[in-house]
Amino acid sequence: MDTKFILSILVNNEAGVLTRVASLFSRRGFNIDSLSVGETESSKVSRITISAKGDDYVKEQIVKQLMKLHDVITVELMDLENTVMRELLLVKVASERGELNEIMQAMSIFRAKVIDLSPGSVTLELTGQGSKIDAFIEFLIPYGITELCRTGITAIGRGDYILKNNLKEND
Amino acid sequence: MQMTGAKIIVETLIEQGIDTIFGYPGGSVLNIYDELFKASDRIKHYLTCHEQGASHAADAYSRVSGKPGVVIATSGPGATNLVTGIANAYLDSSPIVAITGNVAQALIGKDSFQEVYIAGVTMPITKHNYIVKDIGKLADTIREAISIATTGRPGPVLIDVPKDIQLAKCDFVPKAAPAPKGPGKVSDEAVEDAIELINNSKRPFIYAGGGVVISEASKELLDFAERVDAPIGLSMMGLSAIPASHPRNLGMTGMHGKFAASKAMSESDLIIAIGTRFSDRATGSKLEFTKGKRFIHIDIDPAEIGKNIPAYVSVIGNVKDVLTRLNTLLPSFERPEWHREVAEIKESPENNGDVPSDHLTPRALIKEVRKHMPEDGVVATDVGQHQMWVSLYYSFTAPRTFITSGGLGTMGFGMGAAIGSCIGRGRKKTVLFTGDGSFHMNLNELATAVTNNLPLVIVVMNNGVLGMVRQWQTLFFDKRYSNTTLNRKTDFVKLAEAFGATGYRISCADDLSSVMKKAFETEGPVLVDAVIGCDEKVLPMIPPGGTINDIILEG
């Protein structure tokens, strides 16, 4: 049965690494729901967080195939119970004067922020779990979303657990 | 010592023990070729007619010698011509290092003349690839590339070197070639689980593949089979791993495998897969294939475990290490009942259906060639019916003597492969079996064989059709022979002569032994045009997705 899963991948910060990781998914016939990437505490290492869906076979294969890439340092199938996941949403709404108040009220419930305001539109920022972001978008649709972007999920283990404890063998 | 990048490439290859390379010059590798010219007493370059031939030669060179094969090509079309060869090496786990020139970095991304992003093109068909952007890293990149290609599960690595890097200068500090790796770790727990399964099995079957050849574990495999008291079936890539005449060897399994091998495999309760990846050509219907069986999967690549067939127990590691380990721990089993059953299968008429014929049959042709070849003589093939006939009838005896395109099934592989095999074996007599379809794809390399006066015996099984596809059209497409009847007027004897080789023709069974004798006595490359019937089939055949019950034994 297909379930959602999150992969955290530490990679050498080399040109082309993102392509190698992303193309591996398409070559093996697996889909990516979201992908986010950035440098880590070491400038030599980047961290990629991939959200995808698949059954146990897909999960096992993708982890093993990723481990074979020379530039991949470690791959972790995140334990969703013990992982903090966040996503950033930026959304622009064409708002009439009267509507702004309603939006403001919802914003305080969702803990969103206004990051830009102009006579015809308001731009909002929200950080949170995917489900919270989905709910906020759902709320905004009637007001007229003119532009929307979200970063994709980034994730980190709870407590003392750190990813590099799980380094690839032989490297 | 200050050197140019071009010189560093050549010096690093020599430092790493490379003395033979294949390739084709061009604008973006002129400087490398200039250095090869100067170093020609230390490293021998073989010029082919086409980069594809060079890539197959490097692949075959590594398969017969166990050393990495190196191929050089220029940017753009030179690099893209390598692609089939690289993919072929990737699918058959062959350690080749491809070095491509590229336009200078300032011209990259501008669609410059002969510019192709070859690193992007080859990303999914290499173990790893590089674009060298810093002259200071060039030597270490080449060293690392050779190491990646040859360690673990072997495979191709590509290094793209822009022209300005070849011209730039840098200090070159020689490093020793890396010491060979000692035995790797093998999990105790996995070994114990495997032993328990073997212990509980009544009818174990060993299914061995190319991993046994690559890790040179033939002796360990036979010891293991004795201990377990099990028959052995081989994948095509594993065919030369143990002698065909060995009593435990039932031959090739799978779509065109021997009846006995496929039958014993289907009757077994435990399949011990060693250095093989359960290709769809080997398993047929996965559902039926796995029914009522347990699997032990031994492989160096963890990603192969559970990829095609779910394994009950897996042991990750170099096949030789794992088998050595198992052999020290396993008691000797005796399974007289299973033994008898397998012997019956082996002696059954289904497994011995080859009837003598007055015509020139592929089988007779192959058996005749076999008589002229020593046990360690190398046989290369192209892809198609002739390849399967060789797999079924040649009786391989020594590892690394069967050089064929397994995973990718590359028609046109043969000529380059025969050249690389012959060179990799110190120019010993080498046979290429090919078909008129495959041979037409890359027959240009006949010129390479002639230029280098290589002792190749090229047997063209000439049936005037694309036989394997025709066979499928006969069996599954109601004899609609769409585009498989060749109607070509090529005279292969004249063709051989035009290239400067010797050509003979065998048109009937009576000529077989005398012509073959002449061919093997000929110096340099010789082509034998062997005319066979267009409806000779490769049998047995288990139709795609089928089982042993669907096996076709007679045409």
Lowest mean pLDDT among A87-101, B508-522, B526-540: A87-101
**CB of B68 closer than 8 Å to CB of B146:** yes
pLDDT tens for each residue of B48-92? 999 999 999 999 999 999 999 999 999 999 999 999 999 999 999
Chain-centroid distance of CA A131 in Å reads 12
Which residue in the set A27, A57, A170 is minimally distant from B124, CB to CB?
A: A27
Per annotation, catalytic residue among B37, B113, B337, B344: B113
pLDDT tens for each residue of B420-433? 999 999 999 999 99
- Distance in Å, alpha carbon of B18 to nearest chain A alpha carbon: 23
Cβ separation of B127 and A68 shorter than 8 Å? yes
Q: Which of B88, B99, B84 is nearest to B8 (CA)?
A: B99
Q: What is the mean pLDDT of chain B?
A: 96
**CB of B496 closer than 8 Å to CB of B446:** yes
Q: How far apart are the first and last CA of chain B?
A: 68
Amino acid at A153: I
Q: Which residues of B483-513 are buried (b: 16+ CB within 10 A; e: fewer)?
A: ebebeeebebbebbeebebbbbbbeebebbe
Element (H, E) at B197: helix B188-200
What contacts A151, CB < 8 A, 6 or more positions away?
Answer: A36, A87, A88, A89
**CB of B300 closer than 8 Å to CB of B318:** yes
Say yes or no to pLDDT of B169 above 90: yes
CA distances from B552 to A165, B211, B253, B544 (A): 55, 29, 14, 12
Q: Alpha-carbon distance A144 to A139, whole Å?
A: 10
Q: For chain B, what are the domain ranges? A: 2-171, 188-351, 362-531
Say yes or no to pLDDT of B179 above 90: no
Q: Which chain B residues are within 8 Å of A71, Cβ to Cβ? A: 128
Q: Which chain A residues are within 8 Å of B124, Cβ to Cβ? A: 23-24, 27
Amino acid at B158: L
Q: What is the 3-class SS of B333-399, one letter each residue?
A: CCCHHHHHHHHHHHHCHHHCCCCCCCCCCHHHHHHHHHHHCCCCCEEEECCCHHHHHHHHHCCCCCC
- Cα radius of gyration rounded to whole Å, chain B: 24
pLDDT of amino acid B444: 98
Q: Alpha-carbon distance B302 to B316, whole Å?
A: 6
Q: Alpha-carbon distance B356 to B395, whole Å?
A: 18
Please name the residue ranges forming H helices in chain A.
Answer: 17-27, 56-68, 97-110, 130-140
Burial of A38 (0-12, 13-18, 19+ CB in 10 A): exposed
Q: Alpha-carbon distance B119 to B200, whole Å?
A: 49
**CB of A138 closer than 8 Å to CB of A63:** no
Lowest mean pLDDT among B182-186, B233-237, B373-377, B448-452: B182-186
- CB atoms closer than 10 angstroms to residue B197: 18
**CB of B166 closer than 8 Å to CB of B135:** no
Q: Is B114 a catalytic residue?
A: yes
Band (A147; pLDDT cuts 50, 70, 90): very high
pLDDT tens for each residue of B315-343? 999 999 999 999 999 999 999 999 999 99
pLDDT of amino acid B287: 85
Cβ separation of B306 and A15 shorter than 8 Å? no
* Residues within 8 A of B (CB atoms), A 82-121 only: none
What pTM did the predictor assign? 0.95
Angle between helices B51-65 and B413-424 (to 10 degrees): 40
Q: Alpha-carbon distance A106 to A100, whole Å?
A: 10
Q: Which chain B residues are within 8 Å of A65, Cβ to Cβ? A: 303
Say whether B362-531 and B188-351 share the same fold.
Answer: yes
> What residues are paired with B403 via a beta bridge?
B380
Task: For residue A67, give the chain B residue with the closest CA.
Answer: B303
pLDDT of amino acid B468: 97
- Distance in Å, alpha carbon of A63 to nearest chain B alpha carbon: 9
**CB of A35 closer than 8 Å to CB of A11:** no
**CB of A111 closer than 8 Å to CB of A136:** no
Amino acid at A91: V
Q: Alpha-carbon distance B126 to B121, whole Å?
A: 10
pLDDT tens for each residue of B469-480? 999 999 999 999
DSSP-based three-state secondary structure for A114: strand
Q: Alpha-carbon distance B49 to B442, whole Å?
A: 9
pLDDT of amino acid A170: 42
pLDDT tens for each residue of B348-393? 999 987 777 888 999 999 999 999 999 999 999 999 999 999 999 9
Say yes or no to pLDDT of A169 above 80: no
Say yes or no to pLDDT of A167 above 70: no
Q: Which fold has domain B188-351?
A: Rossmann fold (3.40.50)
Mean pLDDT of B540-544: 92
Q: What is the 3-class SS of B247-285, one letter each residue?
A: CCEEEECCCCCCHHHHHHHHHCCEEEEECCCCCHHHHCC
Mean pLDDT of B150-170: 97
Say yes or no to pLDDT of B191 above 50: yes
Placement of tokens 């240009």 in the chain: B444
Domains of chain A (ranges, CATH numbers) = 3-82 (3.30.70.260), 84-154 (3.30.70.1150)
ipTM: 0.89
Q: Which of B233, B229, B235 is nearest to B201 (CA)?
A: B229
What contacts B2, CB < 8 A, 6 or more positions away?
Answer: B169, B170, B171, B172
Q: Which chain B residues are within 8 Å of A64, Cβ to Cβ? A: 302-303, 305
- CB atoms closer than 10 angstroms to residue B162: 24
A15 has a chain B CB within 8 A of its CB: yes
Q: Which chain B residues are within 8 Å of A12, Cβ to Cβ? A: none
Amino acid at B324: T
Band (B288; pLDDT cuts 50, 70, 90): confident
DSSP-based three-state secondary structure for B320: helix
Q: Is B537 a catalytic residue?
A: no
Q: Alpha-carbon distance B10 to B3, whole Å?
A: 11
Look up residue B442 and give its two tokens: 């890359």
pLDDT of amino acid B479: 97
What contacts B99, CB < 8 A, 6 or more positions away?
Answer: B9, B29, B32, B70, B71, B72, B73, B142, B158, B159, B161
Say yes or no to pLDDT of B124 above 90: yes
| CATH number listed for the domain at residues B362-531 | 3.40.50.970
B123 has a chain A CB within 8 A of its CB: yes
Placement of tokens 């010059």 in the chain: B25
Q: Which of B50, B101, B97, B54 is nearest to B74 (CA)?
A: B101
pLDDT of amino acid A171: 41
Q: Alpha-carbon distance B530 to B551, whole Å?
A: 29
DSSP-based three-state secondary structure for B433: strand
Which residue in the set B123, B148, B306 is minimally distant from A23, CB to CB?
A: B123
Q: Cα-flanking dihedrals φ and ψ of residue B43, to 5°?
A: -145, 125
Strand B157-162, strand B96-102: pairing: parallel
Per annotation, catalytic residue among B15, B44, B67, B114: B114
Q: Alpha-carbon distance B128 to B147, whole Å?
A: 11
Element (H, E) at B434: strand B430-435
CA distances from B242 to B213, B245, B246, B370, B461 (A): 9, 9, 7, 16, 26
Look up residue B509 and give its two tokens: 């069974």
**CB of B448 closer than 8 Å to CB of B45:** no
Say yes or no to pLDDT of B533 above 70: yes
Say yes or no to pLDDT of B263 above 50: yes
Say yes or no to pLDDT of B171 above 60: yes
pLDDT of amino acid B371: 98
Element (H, E) at B6: helix B5-15
For the B2-171 domain, the top CATH level (class) is alpha beta
CA distances from B125 to B88, B238, B284, B488, B543 (A): 9, 22, 25, 34, 29
* Residues within 8 A of B (CB atoms), A 36-65 only: 57, 60-61, 64-65
Q: Alpha-carbon distance A118 to B412, whole Å?
A: 66
Burial of B84 (0-12, 13-18, 19+ CB in 10 A): buried
Q: Alpha-carbon distance B518 to B22, whole Å?
A: 31
Q: How far is it between the farthest Cα atoms of chain B? A: 72
**CB of B282 closer than 8 Å to CB of B255:** yes
Give the length of chain A: 171
> What residues are paired with A84 via a beta bridge?
A156
Cβ separation of B303 and A69 shorter than 8 Å? no
